[in-house]
Chain A
Amino acid sequence: MKHYSQISGEISEFSDLPFWKKADGVDLVYVGYGVLIVALVVVSYIFGSFNLLPRDPQDIDLQLMMAPPGTPGRLLGTDFMGRDMLSRLIVGIQAYFLPGLLAIFIALFFGTSLGVLAGYQGEKFNTGITYFTNLIDSFPRLVLILLVIAAFKPDIYYIMLVVGLTNVPVVASLIKGKIQFLKQKNFIEADIALGVPTRTIILKHILWHNCRSLLIIQATLGMAEAILMETSLSYLGFGVQEPTPSWGNMVQSGANYFMQGKFWPSTAPALAILFTILGFHLLGDGLNNILEGKRST
């Protein structure tokens, strides 16, 4: 059953509405959840860096092994060695947060530079870019990273460098697309005719006014990917080593206990991964829909 109603009298203009009325409710929920997750991650990261933890993450308490969440003093329970789960999860963020930012920075910085270059250049340059994009896309990320690990060392910053680099073509083509769009609408020509200096055109007019939503969204996707990569690698044994916690290696070390029916040591970090990646994805999606004004009934 669909209901349509027109309140007689004033017919408002869409552009006058504030953005929370314009956006589809669902997208606001997505963005809200996403922002919550980002806030949690950032706060936890800061706490973790200053060691402001509820308990010592390495503190083994054999009396209190695999306590469920809600146990007094152990908000999220403990793992199979009695170590406090919450503290370990918070410290686990250290493993991917800064490296993730590196990946994002590389992707956005080089991607934007390349994209702007491509946007201003002609066809030959673009064919080259397409070739490189296809080239980079030919490698599964994880396999490429394993290759880099074998050739160099399993350093998370090296790895995030690779992750960032592999995302450069994506960002570049998006930026290039925007520039071509603006070119088509003659915005850039108009700016040039008005004598606006090139640096201002690029930095302020193109990037800030037109591309910032796109870049923010790429940043959220970039962090989601960084988390996925780091946790997968530490799960496989290439990242942070025990006893230092990383969400990935926490799931791995809890595996045997899982098979014995003791789920929590593996499940807690897995859920952390789930809700965090979900948060970044939904944030990106929701922002995309709101800023692009999409979504039909």
Chain B
Amino acid sequence: MTTAPMLKIEDLRTYFYSRSKQAFVRSVDGVSLEIAKGETLGVVGESGSGKSITALSVLGLISTGPGVIGGKIGFKSDQTQKNLLQDLGDFVKLTTKNGKIMEVSKDVLGWERNAERIMSKVRGKEIAMTFQNPKSSLNPFTSVGKQITEAIRLHTSIKTEQEAKERALTWLGRVKIDSPRLRFDNYPYGLSGGMCQRVMIAMALASEPSLLIADEPTTGLDATIQSKIVDLLVELKSELGITTMLISHDISIISRLSDSVAVMYGGTVFESGPAKHILSTGFKSKHPYTSALLASIPSAQNIREKGYLQAIEGDVLDTINIPEGCRFYSRCNRVTGKTREKCARQEPDLHEIISGHKVRCWLYFD
């Protein structure tokens, strides 16, 4: 990265608290990511890996538990440059024992006030987000068109309802919705899941943000619609070149759209780097989790090679009971005699092995 990245997340920590178990749910436990301007970063991982929570933390949308408790989110656009978690340390006090955070004291109200001040200038205007569950993520009491014009009038120079409507219609056309003039007055209940997703994308892009975060844009949709949405995203990507953080557990959509990839597991990033390195089967130095993930995809190649579907053994990490050592240790099939001791006891850092490619695994450095 020669120029400063547009979004730089450093050591983000977002915790929740389970009253019934009297323990922290460490959903995001030290995540570092970077996105350069114009680039699309694909964040891939299983459910529960913390990818959605990371995205919500960027926009300050976490409302329960202690929430965001540490880290830095550097955001740099043409208009502004700031740390979205500025002064977080003033409102949070952590107590660690044996390297693990065991107590959190947070001035929730104070931080909220502080965060709102920062976030209100950024939400929609600079960073826009689309969500999974498009139908429930749109206001059921307002027409779809009005929701788009709201975004336009809030964040662009267009202020009158008339002009905003024209612009909204253009966007509806751009996301390939049929008869935009008719659909403008429709309510979300009358639209299909795929159409609602398109509307959400239009709504996000209409406010002309510098960064788009797309959280599982295809999950929950029919398979045929899924590929249509991906086609749309590919087209929009080449048309607009907008910096994007794409979150999905579906590797196929990640591979079609991403310039760089980050693989998340159990609340941390296991591997990050250029897409062509990480996603290709040829590339050798990869995190065991990544290679296992790729091997488990029901693709023609995998089945031809092995003849069966290879699942990853063991259960997904319980983010309450995080073990010592590497989070993937219990499921890893590439542990060697040399590294076993370390893998079991000590969690590796995210280490850059080749320029731009980082891995969190004892196999690749010591």
Which positions in A face B, CB cutoff 8 Å?
Answer: 1-8, 11-14, 297
| Per-position binary interface string of chain B over residues 78-108, scored 1 when its CB falls under 8 Å from any chain A CB and 0 otherwise | 0000000000000000010110101111111
Known contacts A4-B104, A5-B103; can you find 7 more A-B pairs with CB under 8 A? A2-B105, A2-B107, A4-B24, A6-B23, A6-B24, A7-B22, A11-B23
| A5 and B102 contact, CB distance less than 8 A | yes
| B66 and A2 contact, CB distance less than 8 A | yes
| A6 and B22 contact, CB distance less than 8 A | yes
A-B contact pairs, 23 of them (CB 8 A): A1-B105, A1-B107, A2-B106, A2-B107, A3-B103, A3-B104, A4-B15, A4-B65, A4-B104, A4-B105, A5-B95, A5-B102, A5-B103, A5-B104, A6-B103, A7-B22, A8-B100, A8-B102, A11-B21, A11-B320, A11-B321, A12-B21, A13-B20
Given the complex of chains A and B, what is the CA–CA distance between A2 and B19 in angstroms? 13
Min CB–CB distance A265 → chain B (angstroms): 48
Min CB–CB distance B28 → chain A (angstroms): 16
| B187 sits at the interface (CB 8 A) | no
| A3 and B97 contact, CB distance less than 8 A | no
A8-B100, A11-B320, A11-B321 known; A3-B105 Cβ under 8 A: yes
| Per-position binary interface string of chain B over residues 57-79, scored 1 when its CB falls under 8 Å from any chain A CB and 0 otherwise | 00000000110000000000000
| B17 sits at the interface (CB 8 A) | yes
Considering only residues 127-180 of chain B, those with a C-beta below 8 Å from chain A are none
Q: Give the chain A neighbours of B105 by CB distance below 8 A.
A: 1-4
Q: 5 closest pairs, A vs B, by CB?
A: A14-B20, A5-B103, A6-B23, A4-B104, A4-B17
Q: Give the chain A neighbours of B100 by CB distance below 8 A.
A: 8
Specify the chain A residue showing the minimal Cβ separation from B24. Answer: A6
From B21, B103, B320, A14 is in contact (CB under 8 Å) with B21
Q: Give the chain B neighbours of A7 by CB distance below 8 A.
A: 22, 102
Given the complex of chains A and B, what is the CA–CA distance between A16 and B107 in angstroms? 32
Given the complex of chains A and B, what is the CA–CA distance between A6 and B102 in angstroms? 5
Q: For A5, A8, A14, which residue has the most chain B Cβ atoms within 10 angstroms? A: A5
Min CB–CB distance A72 → chain B (angstroms): 52
Given the complex of chains A and B, what is the CA–CA distance between A26 and B65 in angstroms? 20
Q: For A2, A6, A297, which residue has the most chain B Cβ atoms within 10 angstroms? A: A6
Q: Give the chain A neighbours of B108 by CB distance below 8 A.
A: 1-2
Q: Give the chain A neighbours of B24 by CB distance below 8 A.
A: 4, 6
Which positions in B face A, CB cutoff 8 Å?
Answer: 15, 17, 19-24, 65-66, 95, 97-98, 100, 102-108, 320-321
Given the complex of chains A and B, what is the CA–CA distance between A6 and B20 in angstroms? 12
| B22 and A11 contact, CB distance less than 8 A | yes
Q: Give the chain B neighbours of A13 by CB distance below 8 A.
A: 20-21
Q: Give the chain A neighbours of B107 by CB distance below 8 A.
A: 1-2
Q: Give the chain B neighbours of A3 by CB distance below 8 A.
A: 103-105
Given the complex of chains A and B, what is the CA–CA distance between A5 and B101 in angstroms? 9
Q: Give the chain A neighbours of B95 by CB distance below 8 A.
A: 5
Given the complex of chains A and B, what is the CA–CA distance between A7 and B22 in angstroms? 8
Min CB–CB distance A118 → chain B (angstroms): 30
Q: Give the chain B neighbours of A8 by CB distance below 8 A.
A: 97-98, 100, 102
Q: Give the chain B neighbours of A4 by CB distance below 8 A.
A: 15, 17, 24, 65-66, 103-106
Given the complex of chains A and B, what is the CA–CA distance between A6 and B21 in angstroms? 9
Q: Give the chain A neighbours of B22 by CB distance below 8 A.
A: 6-7, 11-12
Given the complex of chains A and B, what is the CA–CA distance between A1 and B108 in angstroms? 6
Min CB–CB distance A17 → chain B (angstroms): 8
Given the complex of chains A and B, what is the CA–CA distance between A3 and B106 in angstroms? 7
Q: Give the chain A neighbours of B106 by CB distance below 8 A.
A: 1-2, 4
Min CB–CB distance B66 → chain A (angstroms): 5
Given the complex of chains A and B, what is the CA–CA distance between A3 and B17 in angstroms? 10
Specify the chain A residue showing the minimal Cβ separation from B15. Answer: A4
Given the complex of chains A and B, what is the CA–CA distance between A5 and B97 in angstroms? 11
Given the complex of chains A and B, what is the CA–CA distance between A165 and B22 in angstroms? 46
Given the complex of chains A and B, what is the CA–CA distance between A83 and B100 in angstroms? 70
Min CB–CB distance A8 → chain B (angstroms): 6
Specify the chain B residue showing the minimal Cβ separation from A295. Answer: B19
Min CB–CB distance A19 → chain B (angstroms): 13
Q: Give the chain A neighbours of B104 by CB distance below 8 A.
A: 3-5
Given the complex of chains A and B, what is the CA–CA distance between A5 and B23 in angstroms? 7
Q: For B23, B97, B320, which residue has the most chain A Cβ atoms within 10 angstroms? A: B23
Q: Give the chain B neighbours of A12 by CB distance below 8 A.
A: 21-22
Given the complex of chains A and B, what is the CA–CA distance between A3 and B19 in angstroms? 12
Min CB–CB distance B114 → chain A (angstroms): 14
Given the complex of chains A and B, what is the CA–CA distance between A41 and B301 in angstroms? 78
Specify the chain B residue showing the minimal Cβ separation from A1. Answer: B107
Min CB–CB distance A11 → chain B (angstroms): 5
Given the complex of chains A and B, what is the CA–CA distance between A14 and B320 in angstroms? 14
Given the complex of chains A and B, what is the CA–CA distance between A7 and B24 in angstroms? 10
Min CB–CB distance B44 → chain A (angstroms): 29
Min CB–CB distance B106 → chain A (angstroms): 6
Q: For A4, A7, A11, A14, which residue has the most chain B Cβ atoms within 10 angstroms? A: A4
Q: Give the chain B neighbours of A11 by CB distance below 8 A.
A: 21-23, 320-321
Specify the chain B residue showing the minimal Cβ separation from A293. Answer: B20
Specify the chain B residue showing the minimal Cβ separation from A5. Answer: B103
Min CB–CB distance B316 → chain A (angstroms): 17
Given the complex of chains A and B, what is the CA–CA distance between A1 and B111 in angstroms? 10
Given the complex of chains A and B, what is the CA–CA distance between A3 and B65 in angstroms? 10
Min CB–CB distance B14 → chain A (angstroms): 13
Min CB–CB distance A215 → chain B (angstroms): 27
Min CB–CB distance B149 → chain A (angstroms): 36
Q: Give the chain A neighbours of B97 by CB distance below 8 A.
A: 8
Q: Give the chain A neighbours of B321 by CB distance below 8 A.
A: 11
Q: Give the chain B neighbours of A297 by CB distance below 8 A.
A: 19
Q: Give the chain A neighbours of B320 by CB distance below 8 A.
A: 11
Specify the chain A residue showing the minimal Cβ separation from B21. Answer: A11
Min CB–CB distance A142 → chain B (angstroms): 38
Given the complex of chains A and B, what is the CA–CA distance between A13 and B18 in angstroms? 11
Given the complex of chains A and B, what is the CA–CA distance between A58 and B302 in angstroms? 96
